[in-house]
């Protein structure tokens, strides 16, 4: 500890507003020959309270990189066959330009009369376009100055608002005549899709529906040469995570949900589109398109599953890290990365593997992975910050719970830790519940450690990265997970006696907010709590959450409507009158994943019982406030939590 302290004196402490200068990287795409990678850099713009996005290209042969588009709004882009980039800024119409990555010269290309989400070349001057399309009235939706008409379920989506009457569709844009032709059926909702150039086909997970969209979808296959498509797997059996072609078969990652777990890990299966025969190929026991190891230092997305040269590549949580995996042609699973941290998005082309990742408690950079497993870092967007600041490495503090399960947890000591002193502590709980914590930089935790707090966190049952049986918690919420967290807290206090058990705080967001609400309704051991974008009533969650109609139905089958006692028994709102812990609520009025009505079930009960409560309601924000909210609101959110903890755990004045 003396060495850490001495080193820390030479570096600057982490400050709350430091994230305003971080570079968040996303959407990495390799050139067809693998010689270059294009990716997006996002940086907070405090002046206009938003984010500036820049498109960069890194040349692996020369080791150089350059900005190829002026900084502005997030573009959609893809590589063309001639080594140029096609780039467009989405709006009601999306105009595209060709950009030469060598010198940044632009040339007008074409405009697509839709807000394009993604575009890629399919040959012959044709482009595969992903965009929302609206169903013709009177199906699904109507809106005027007086009212909005909703006739479908789901009817809303976090970050999008009302979505009834919209479909996520695929279309073909033809440069020759400027035509735009939809290739998915009008009522088909695309959940995920893959363009498979070798076979000339597009494979889509999703389903057609007119009234209610169920979670277990089907597969639609479109032949680009024949210009015809068909449903090759009907909806109703599998929860689809990914689909593509593998040779002449349709490969898909699906789960039947027979393990009593709607978040069941995927099995990769092969479908013979001609006969309908399905054969298992690889039981990966990993969650595809999952949350991965959590961090509040990401913005944007990218590829997390891809078929290339007869092999499947995907990233997924595995223990304390997000790992890049490969399934070989024989259906055997291999971990390709082995360092702690996370692979946030990746691409594979012409034998090269590149990814955006977080390594060594650092922030995001671009890496390549060699055949022998060696990683090389090619950017230094965040290096100066990481090298010049005191970043505390989480110390492992694992336990074996009373049922014999290994529960991984960590403790971050306060900066300048002195074993002779006593310190307050903050327990942080991840969302999901199938989220996970691990060995990555988490800004809010580093801020609290710099402010003199012990910070501790764990992966209780329900977390991702430990297999299906471990993650099965839904319908038993607040039981096994609560026991694990409390046992972990007991163990932390034993290992680190410098933590004052009378000055403990607890916080968490989303499902972590549910657990925070549950904890303060079942124990008085915490002196302060901050519940964020939380869940308070599973019946309200069923009716108002954008995914609640299927998530909560499978948690409390056949639905909380038919099992109200069971769902209420597992709702924090039932126990809110028992709360005595000072409780801060952080919520957003545009959150459609955990709407405000969820938090009010606990707020009203706790306030009515005389507990000290404070609601900080952010206007115009949604469920992503802590990760992608407006910079000023992200600062305010973290300030509110810090002030609340200081007031109740340090006796400081609230700002």
State which residues form the domain around 414: 398-536+571-649
φ, ψ dihedrals at 97, nearest 5°: -130, 155
Q: Is residue 240 part of a domain?
A: no
pLDDT of 651: 84
Q: Is residue 550 part of a domain?
A: no
Interstrand relation of 106-112 and 423-429 (parallel, antiparallel or unpaired): unpaired
Q: What is the pLDDT of residues 86-119, one digit of tens each?
A: 999 999 999 999 999 999 999 999 999 999 999 9
Q: Is residue 452 part of a domain?
A: yes
Reported confidence tier of residue 20, pLDDT bands at 50, 70, 90 = very high
Q: What is the pLDDT of residues 546-595, one digit of tens each?
A: 999 988 988 888 889 998 999 999 999 999 999 999 999 999 999 999 99
Q: Is residue 602 part of a domain?
A: yes
Q: Does 435 have pLDDT greater than 90? A: yes
Reported confidence tier of residue 3, pLDDT bands at 50, 70, 90 = very low
* DSSP secondary structure, 42-110, as one string: EEEETTTTEEEEEEEEEETTTTEEEE-S-SBSPPEEEE-TTS-EEEE--SSSEEEEEE-TTT--EEEEE
Segment 215-223 shows an average pLDDT of: 95
pLDDT of 6: 44
Q: Is residue 349 part of a domain?
A: no
Reported confidence tier of residue 654, pLDDT bands at 50, 70, 90 = very low
pLDDT of 133: 97
φ, ψ dihedrals at 17, nearest 5°: -85, 5
CATH of the domain at 416: 3.40.50.1820
Q: Is residue 304 part of a domain?
A: no
Q: Is residue 362 part of a domain?
A: no
Q: Does 2 have pLDDT greater than 50? A: no
* DSSP secondary structure, 459-485, as one string: --TT-SSS-HHHH--TTSTTTHHHHHH
Rounded Cα gap, residues 525 and 500, in angstroms: 11
Q: What is the pLDDT of residues 514-557, one digit of tens each?
A: 999 999 999 999 999 999 999 999 999 999 999 999 889 888 88
Taking each helix axis from N to C end, the angle separating 511-520 and 480-495, rounded to the nearest 10 degrees, works out to 80
- CB 239 within 8 Å of CB 215: yes
Segment 457-470 shows an average pLDDT of: 94
Segment 363-370 shows an average pLDDT of: 98
Q: Is residue 639 part of a domain?
A: yes
Average pLDDT in the chain = 94
pLDDT of 291: 75
Segment 367-386 shows an average pLDDT of: 97
pLDDT of 8: 43
pLDDT of 261: 63
Q: Does 333 have pLDDT greater than 70? A: yes
pLDDT of 652: 57
* Sign of the Cα pseudo-torsion (356, 359, 365, 366, in order): negative
Reported confidence tier of residue 142, pLDDT bands at 50, 70, 90 = low
Domain count, the chain: 1
The four Cα atoms 56, 59, 60, 63 give a dihedral, to 10 degrees, of -90
Q: Which segment of 267-276, 288-297, 458-467, 624-633 scores lowest on mean pLDDT?
A: 288-297
């Amino acid at each position: 500890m003396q060495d850490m302290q001495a080193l820390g004196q030479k570096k600057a402490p982490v400050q709350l507003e430091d994230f305003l200068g971080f570079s968040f990287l996303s959407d990495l795409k390799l050139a067809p020959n693998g010689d270059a990678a294009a990716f997006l850099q996002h940086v907070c713009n405090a002046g206009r309270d938003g984010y500036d996005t820049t498109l960069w290209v890194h040349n692996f042969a020369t080791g150089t990189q350059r900005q190829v588009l002026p900084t502005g709004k997030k573009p959609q882009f893809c590589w063309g066959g001639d080594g140029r980039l096609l780039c467009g800024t989405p709006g009601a119409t999306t105009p595209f330009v060709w950009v030469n990555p060598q010198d940044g010269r632009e040339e007008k290309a074409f405009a697509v009369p839709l807000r394009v989400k993604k575009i890629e070349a399919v040959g012959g001057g044709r482009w595969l376009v992903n965009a929302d399309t609206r169903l013709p009235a009177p199906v699904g939706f109507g809106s005027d100055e007086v009212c909005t008409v909703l006739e479908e379920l789901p009817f809303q989506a976090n970050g999008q608002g009302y979505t009834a009457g919209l479909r996520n569709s695929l279309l073909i844009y033809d440069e020759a005549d400027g035509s735009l032709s939809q290739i998915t059926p009008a009522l088909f909702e695309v959940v995920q899709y893959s363009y498979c150039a070798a076979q000339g086909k597009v494979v889509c997970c999703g389903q057609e529906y007119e009234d209610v969209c169920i979670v277990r979808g089907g597969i639609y296959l479109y032949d680009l040469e024949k210009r015809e498509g068909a449903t090759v797997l009907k909806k109703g059996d599998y929860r689809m995570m990914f689909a593509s072609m593998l040779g002449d078969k349709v490969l898909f990652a699906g789960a039947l949900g027979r393990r009593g777990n709607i978040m069941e890990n995927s099995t990769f299966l092969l479908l013979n589109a001609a006969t309908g025969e399905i054969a298992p190929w690889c039981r990966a026991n990993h969650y595809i398109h999952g949350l991965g190891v959590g961090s509040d230092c990401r913005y944007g997305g990218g590829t997390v599953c891809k078929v290339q040269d007869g092999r499947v590549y995907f990233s997924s949580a595995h223990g304390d890290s997000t790992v890049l995996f490969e399934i070989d042609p024989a259906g055997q699973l291999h971990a390709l990365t082995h360092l702690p941290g996370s692979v946030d998005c990746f691409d594979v082309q012409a034998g090269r593997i590149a990814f955006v990742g977080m390594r060594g408690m650092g922030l995001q950079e671009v890496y390549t992975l060699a055949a022998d497993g060696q990683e090389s870092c090619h950017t230094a967007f965040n290096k100066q910050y990481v090298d010049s600041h005191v970043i505390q490495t989480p110390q492992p503090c694992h336990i074996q719970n009373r049922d014999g399960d290994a529960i991984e947890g960590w403790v971050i000591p306060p900066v300048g830790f002195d074993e002779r002193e006593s310190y307050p502590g903050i327990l942080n709980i991840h969302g999901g519940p199938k989220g996970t914590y691990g060995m990555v930089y988490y800004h809010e935790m580093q801020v609290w450690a710099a402010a003199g707090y012990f910070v501790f966190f764990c992966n209780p049952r329900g977390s991702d990265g430990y297999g299906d049986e471990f993650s099965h918690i839904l319908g038993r919420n607040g039981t096994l997970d609560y026991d694990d967290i409390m046992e972990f807290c007991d163990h932390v206090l034993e290992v680190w006696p410098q933590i004052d058990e009378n000055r403990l705080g607890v916080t968490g967001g989303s499902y972590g907010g549910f657990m925070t609400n549950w904890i303060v309704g079942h124990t008085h051991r915490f002196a302060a709590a901050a519940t964020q974008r939380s869940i308070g009533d599973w019946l309200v969650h069923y009716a108002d959450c954008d995914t609640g109609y299927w998530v909560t139905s499978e948690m409390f089958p056949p639905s909380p409507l038919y099992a109200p006692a069971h769902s209420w028994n597992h709702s924090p709102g039932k126990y809110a009158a028992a709360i005595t812990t000072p409780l801060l609520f952080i919520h957003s009025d545009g959150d459609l994943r955990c709407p405000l009505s969820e938090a009010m079930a606990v707020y009203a009960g706790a306030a009515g019982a005389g507990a000290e409560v404070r609601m900080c309601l952010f206007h115009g924000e949604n469920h992503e406030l802590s990760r992608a909210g407006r910079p000023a609101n992200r600062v305010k959110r973290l300030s509110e939590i810090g002030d609340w903890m200081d007031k109740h755990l340090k006796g400081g004045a609230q700002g």
